[in-house]
Amino acid sequence: MQIASVHTRIVRAPYRRPFVISSGTSPELISLVVEVRTADGESGFGEASPMTAYTGETLAGLEAALTEHVAPALIGRDPRDLAGAHAAMDAAIRGQHLAKAALDIALHDVAARAAGWPVHLLLGGCVRPRVPTAWVVGLGTLEEMVAEAAAYAARGFVHIKVKGGEDPELDVRLVRSVREAVAESVELSLDANEGYDPGTAGRTVSRLADAGLDLIEQPLPRWDLAGMAMLRSRGGVRVMADESVYSLHDALEIVRRGAADVLNIKILKVGGLYRARQIAAVAEAAGLAVKIGTMPELGVATLAAAHLAAALPNATVAADLVGPLLVGEEPLAGAAFAGVGDVGWVDVPVGAGLGHDL
């Protein structure tokens, strides 16, 4: 089996309402969909969605890196040779994790389809056939955010993540109000997206813990691992690294510095499923939990995240699989996510490949 060609298409889906985090606002979800075709007629699909305010990567840059550098490095290779594919992509261009992730997902899809397996079997098995997903509440007024959190907790979502990082005082009020509005069994996290000042973060996180927060995500700049370790040492609330985790080497340094209790592994950010499994293994060896996150993406990449969350024993924090639920109409794998917004989990597909209907 050999890769014969790679094709791309840009897909746009407007959000039901603009997706707002502390680093920027997105009115629509834009993805680059990749199809890998083999010489014997097999196809596999991947996807990458550049959130420029978050990763610094643009759609034009992603498409250029993929079509001019990364894809040509794979032509003629066996799509089942994932280690070799990553070595070839890394030799072709440094960085460009989103482009490499899109192709990595497509390679997993085509290899699993050829074998007649669901992708999670390529990733090690299926620890959990149903993957619980967190509901992510974007920035808004306090009243809007509390109402949204309460509504989705009542539907069955076991983890509610609220966005923050702009105003610590408002974050404390928000966490206290959401905790009062949801059941005690619902895990509550706040994603500050690097928004807190290192000098006052300790006091803010202590107040958040007193308000009922379970998990604080990336409260400090990605480079401040000493500050993250300090927050973790205070206890009271678990610390999760997100923007600090772009590579296997980042994960190892976080473990060495004791800078997190949980690693948020986003497949696109780290370069694909192959690299994500390596990072999860480092976390498992260190006794850390992982969360499988998204930025968010549409259905193909979100399905890849669901398969990975199903396969990893230490993926014990509810995954972020809500991208397809945030848009008005999911154009890639809508059937796989039908009803998810009413129950709070994704049933991991058991057919060959990722489980989309492209």
Largest CA distance in the chain: 61
Residue ranges and CATH numbers for the domains of the chain are: 3-116 (3.30.390.10), 121-347 (3.20.20.120)
Phi, psi of 178 (to 5 degrees): -65, -40
Tokens of 243: 């923007």
Asked if the model's pLDDT at residue 23 lies above 70, the reply is no
276 vs 139, which has greater pLDDT?
Answer: 276
Q: Can you give the pLDDT at residue 235?
A: 87
How far is it, in rounded angstroms, from Cα 174 to Cα 191? Answer: 12
CA distances to 51, 207, 299 from 190, in Å: 20, 13, 25
CB count in 10 Å sphere of residue 339:
10
Residue 276 burial (CB count, 10 A): 27
Poorest-confidence range of 211-220, 232-241, 288-297, 337-346?
337-346
pLDDT, position 92: 97
For 206, residues 6+ apart whose C-beta sits below 8 A from its C-beta are 234, 236
Tens of pLDDT, residue by residue over 256-307, are 999 999 999 999 999 999 999 999 999 999 999 999 999 889 999 999 999 9
Contact 38, 1 (CB under 8 A): yes
